[in-house]
Amino acid sequence: MARFGASMLDDIEEELFSREQLQEIVARIGREISEDYKDKRLLLVSVLKGSVVFMADLMRAITIPAQIDFMATSSYGSGTTTSGRVKIVKDLDIDLKGYDIVLVEDILDSGRTLSHLMELLEMRGAASLKICTLFDKPERRQVPVQPAYVGAVIPDAFIVGYGLDYDERYRNLPFVGILKPSIYA
């Protein structure tokens, strides 16, 4: 970890998932998706920015043909809790008709963003639609959203690293850790 600035590492209260643990999670989910979609027209849709690291590793762990696309939403601003309003910042580039979509997200907490995206993508004619989330925080759920693929269920803590951020920082950490509350309080 020497290559990371001391201040960035000092902001982490506890490491939750090491680089090796994350690799194991991604490999497991990749095997599951490869098996479930072996005879399907798979489209992985990454919800930017948080899921980009997970998506990059996940698509390499999938052993069947798959296409990818990206969406960007905004519901947090620079805070730590969702505003409840979902804004599409970057939309998909392809027509969804006939695709079996796996919506790839970094973390599922309130469920508001994914619920909104699920409705939107269903209206666009996807053959099927499932959610894949690296981390699930069911304690925070405000709307009924059920992921098909879950890396790990985590406690209600503010986590960063491996693509997850606080105010656009910490995404480049190769592990996932709990951010010290004093940083965002």
Residues carrying an active site annotation: 109
Amino acid symbol at 10: D
Please answer whether residues 177 and 146 qualify as being in contact, where contact means their C-beta atoms are separated by less than 8 angstroms: no
Q: Where are the beta strands (DSSP E) in the chain?
A: 12-17, 42-48, 67-74, 87-90, 100-108, 128-136, 149-153, 159-160, 176-179
Q: Is 97 exposed, middle or buried (0-12, 13-18, 19+ CB in 10 A)?
A: exposed
Q: Is 114 exposed, middle or buried (0-12, 13-18, 19+ CB in 10 A)?
A: buried
Amino acid symbol at 91: D
For residues 137 and 88, what is the distance between their CA atoms, to the nearest angstrom?
Answer: 23
Residue 169's contacts (CB-CB under 8 Å, 6 or more residues apart) are: 8, 160
For residues 151 and 164, what is the distance between their CA atoms, to the nearest angstrom?
Answer: 14
